[in-house]
Amino acid sequence: MWATLEYRIALILRSAALRLFFAVVAAGLLLAGLAFLGIALWVVLEARGGTAFAAGWIGGGCLVLGFLTLGLGVAYRPRPPAAPPLSLADLVAAFVSGYGAAQATKKTGDDE
């Protein structure tokens, strides 16, 4: 039994470590790609209108994206967790409990 538990824990840890590794590598590659795209955008905008023009457009674009991201983060409301479904045993136990309460009420004559 312990060997099976240890094996499952090892599988879960290995899976989590692998997902973390790929997430870190993906984040690094995304940041590198964004840096190169930012440099390319700077070069294009600077050639078109100068340094102040490029800085203004890139800064304004980042500001707009930041406000949009902030708005999405504030508007996001996670759903409350759903109630777990009742099993047949729980349903039968609830029925028997209610039935027993009804029979007890009939025997004592609480209706009057």
pLDDT number for residue 64? 92
48 pLDDT above the threshold of 70: yes
How far, in whole angstroms, is CA 99 from its chain's centroid? 43
92 pLDDT above the threshold of 70: yes
Domain-embedded: residue 28? yes
Domain-embedded: residue 4? yes
CB 58 within 8 A of CB 41: yes
Query: Which tokens go with 97?
Result: 């409990």
Domain-embedded: residue 22? yes
Domain-embedded: residue 109? no
pLDDT number for residue 7? 85
Domain-embedded: residue 93? no
pLDDT > 70 in the chain, percent: 95
- Confidence band, pLDDT 50/70/90 cuts, at residue 78: confident
Domain-embedded: residue 67? yes
Domain-embedded: residue 86? no
Question: Average pLDDT over the chain, rounded to whole?
Answer: 86
Query: Domain limits at 48?
Result: 1-74
Instruction: List strand residue ranges (DSSP E) for 60-105, in order.
Output: none
Domain count, the chain: 1
Of the candidates 64, 65, 43, 70, the residue with the CA atom closest to the CA atom of residue 54: 43
User: With a threshold of 0.85, does the pTM exceed it?
Assistant: no
Domain-embedded: residue 24? yes
112 pLDDT above the threshold of 70: no
Average pLDDT for 16-24 = 91
